[in-house]
Amino acid sequence: MANTLKISEAVINKLSTINFTYSGCLHGIFYKNSLLVLGLHVETDEKDEIINSLPTEVDICGVIDINSEENNVKVDDILRKVDITDNPIYISFNSSLENSISAYFIVNDQLKSANFEIVKQANIYSEFVHVRLRASLPIYTELNIDAIKEAFLTLRKQFTSGQVAFNFQKSKVYLVGHDLENRLIGLSGDPTVGELCDESYVTNEGQINQRKRKSGQNIQQQVIEVYMFKKSTRDFPVEGTTLHAPVVHVDKKTFQSLQLWVEVDALSMVHVDSKVVNLYDIIVESSCRNLRLQQNAFFKFFTDCIEEQGKISNLKIYHFYPESCGHFVTKAYPKNFADIDLEEERSLLHKQLLLPVNRPIFRKSNVFLFRSDIQIGGPLINPHEGLIHTGNENEVVIVRGKYLYYHYCQNKMDDNGWGCAYRSLQTLASWFLLQGYTCRPVPTFDEIQKCLVDIGDKSNSFIGSKQWIGSTEVTFVLNSLLGITSKIIYVSSGEELATKGPDLINHFKTQGTPIMIGGGVLAHTILGVDYNRKTGDIQFLVLDPHYTGPEDVEIIQKKGWCGWKGMNFWDKGSYYNMCLPQAPTCI
């Protein structure tokens, strides 16, 4: 039995939003005599689908019963699915009770009460890291269901055979199969995963650098990148075996063939105290889980194409990190399918994971951006993170999700002195892209100007000019290019902005989108509000597009290009228009 039961804060938060009767499975991870419950899901006929979408080491660990008058848990069914502990967890939640959560271990078909600790996400990811394996493998087979199943099985056997090795990115450290006595090459001793992550890298010589991590470093979502190498030579024959010439069987027939590349992109979740040498088996299992996920997706999307010998697209892996889940969810989508073609798939996933159905979470553009995926020198993501607000019993609400910081002189373009509203518009458009509401790239200056000409707001001479735009033009472009509607708030002076605290609080709570504000000859982006309803004191989290320096978040925060601003930041003699984009209701 696990000595300790821990429950992720994300699970507790999700339970607080549920007011209906529901029974489902818990999934979590077992480590150091503790069981950590990371999430919950509804079971469907596709019983393995959710598990294949979770990081390896995260498995079904119990059952949850919500708002049920009596314990109707099917213990036998749960026991057959749980293999990370002999004693699954049963959690009963009743939203009408003060002590709403009761937890039990299932011991010999009996419920034994268990105390539990609620763990914050930051604490979870200070103890766990993710290992990301990427590999590219070919499939060349006959175009029929049985042959394709056999081809995927063959791919899995390549990993489980022990004939593959894994290399840590930018290092000479390798993990090899069971056939060698020393499975860790390039490192001496018996290092832990945490020792690697403390330094965020392994030196080329394969020695762990002993410098300490700087205090305050954000290690949330620490990821170790791993690549696969396949053994190209065969082993020496075992003594006593007989060598013989290869036998080739030729079967001449006409058939339709299938040739495609399977891009393995698999995640594992491991504790920092895990030994690096033990990662081999975990990475192998993660590759098999990822291949099963892709096989299921392949037949789900292409069964008709196989039977009719139609066109088949490659699959692509997408890793998502819904904040309300508190863990990664991985899906395999066909590359040539648009978001509209995958709506049914996404709806099922929202239902399984008890996620809201009013905003996108699993669209392709919602994909989680790992450090290795981020364009070097490109716009910064969420430069406000880490800033401290007053928090003196005030109501603080900030932008929801991710956005890109667009400012003067990016992309080798000199728009200093006239392009601030264009840049703010680009930041707003990036929010809708990264939240999955659109697949359209962030519009360029030329596209913005052409849009305003096309809708009749500007004359042809506007294209290629350095004319300013304001919040009204921003509203027009968002609606025309992205289909996004906006509200406009007008104030006659900077002083009047103090009266708009309740409106802005409501906006960030209900919509969560960044706000473009224009006044006089300047434009800014508002990312949040710090407001005291009793005193009327208000501060604004402002992103300033007038910045002309490098993409350095430390400079941007220290110099105030992104920071909390008081009322004295706004010109008392200027009027202001605010464009408040409205988030569509969709998945």
Q: Strand 257-271 vs strand 486-491: parallel, antiparallel, or unpaired?
A: unpaired
Q: Strand 4-8 vs strand 34-41: parallel, antiparallel, or unpaired?
A: parallel
Cα separation of 52 and 56, whole Å?
8
- Which one, of 506, 521, 516, lies nearest residue 542 by Cα? 516
* Sequence-separated (6 or more) residues with CB below 8 Å from residue 410: 379, 423
Instruction: For the beta carbon of residue 217, count every other beta carbon within 10 angstroms.
Output: 10
Give residue 208's identity as a one-letter amino acid code. I
Q: Backbone phi, then psi, for 256, in 5-degree steps? A: -90, 130
Cα separation of 364 and 357, whole Å?
16
| 27 is a catalytic site residue | no
- Helix count (H) and strand count (E) of the chain? 13, 23
| 130 is a catalytic site residue | no
Task: Give me 493's structure tokens.
Answer: 């002076």
CB 430 within 8 A of CB 404: yes
Instruction: For the beta carbon of residue 560, count every other beta carbon within 10 angstroms.
Output: 13
> Which is it for the CA torsion 384, 385, 390, 393, positive or negative?
positive
- Which one, of 436, 282, 300, lies nearest residue 358 by Cα? 436
Q: How many CA atoms lie within 13 A of 58 on its CB side?
A: 29
Give residue 280's identity as a one-letter amino acid code. Y
- Report the run of H or E that residue 381 belongs to, with start and end: none
Strands (E), 42-88: 59-66
Q: Is 271 helix (H, G, I), strand (E, B) or coil?
A: strand
Q: How far is CA 329 from the centre of its chain?
A: 8
| 544 is a catalytic site residue | yes
- Which one, of 525, 528, 486, 470, lies nearest residue 504 by Cα? 528
Cα separation of 358 and 262, whole Å?
33
Q: Is 174 helix (H, G, I), strand (E, B) or coil?
A: strand
Cα separation of 525 and 2, whole Å?
49
Active-site residue (options: 305, 409, 546, 586): 546
Tokens 């894994």 sit on residue: 166
Give residue 489's identity as a one-letter amino acid code. I
Active-site residue (options: 420, 451, 562, 579): 420
Q: How far is CA 155 from the centre of its chain?
A: 27
CB 325 within 8 A of CB 355: yes
Active-site residue (options: 25, 41, 544, 579): 544
List C-alpha distances in Å: 389 to 394, 514, 531, 549: 10, 17, 11, 24
* Sequence-separated (6 or more) residues with CB below 8 Å from residue 106: 62, 75, 78, 79, 87, 88, 89, 90, 112
Would you please indicate which residues are annotated as catalytic (active-site) residues? 420, 544, 546
